[in-house]
Amino acid sequence: MARIFKYKGKTLEELKSMSLEEFSRLLPSRERRSLLRGLSERQKKLLEEIKKDREEFHKTHERDMVILPEMVDVKLGVYNGKEFKRVTIIPEMLGHRLGEFSLTRHRVMHSSPGAGATRGSKHIPLK
């Protein structure tokens, strides 16, 4: 039995048929205020590109863009400061921001000292 996705009691089809203003009423206050201020030119351009060709891989720097219902099932490359991380938008991401799914930091794994290390830093204790 497949589970039907609902966001605040609305199905994905109902969300897609809503206007931007109606959808913004369902969002938390920070995202709602962001949408009520209007989309920037770059965000509008990204939405137009997505509407034009949903199957294409779109690259973007718009980490602060709120994920909207018409963006579901789209593959995006979200810039994290170094590279474009591949993000596939799923219904559970609605209302979040793109940057939340393209992390800018990762865990540093240190290993043994390198070739140019000093004598003191090369010491590795036995216990």
Q: State residue 44's pLDDT score.
A: 96
The domain in which residue 24 lies consists of 6-101
Asked whether residue 55 carries a pLDDT value surpassing 70, the answer given is: yes
Total number of domains in the chain: 1
Q: Residue 111's pLDDT band (boundaries 50, 70, 90)?
A: confident
**Residue 13 domain-assigned?**
yes
**Residue 97 domain-assigned?**
yes
Token look-up 């089809």 returns 13
Asked whether residue 127 carries a pLDDT value surpassing 70, the answer given is: no
**Residue 95 domain-assigned?**
yes
**Residue 121 domain-assigned?**
no
Neighbours of 53 (CB within 10 A): 10
Q: Identify the CA nearest to 77 among candidates 57, 47, 106.
A: 57
**Residue 23 domain-assigned?**
yes
Q: What is the mean pLDDT of residues 28-49?
A: 95
Q: Domain holding 33: CATH number?
A: 3.30.860.10
More confident residue, 71 or 127: 71
Q: Residue 121's pLDDT band (boundaries 50, 70, 90)?
A: low
- Kindly report the pTM of this predicted structure: 0.82
* Structure tokens, 37: 């201020």
**Residue 14 domain-assigned?**
yes
DSSP state of 66: B
Question: 63 and 40 in contact (C-beta within 8 Å)?
Answer: no
CA distance 127 to 121: 16
Taken as a whole, the chain contains a residue count of: 127
Q: What is the mean pLDDT of residues 63-79?
A: 95
**Residue 43 domain-assigned?**
yes
CB within 8 Å of 80: residues ≥ 6 apart: 63, 102, 103, 104
Largest CA distance in the chain: 67
Query: CA-CA-CA-CA torsion for 9, 14, 20, 24, nearest 10 degrees?
Result: 0
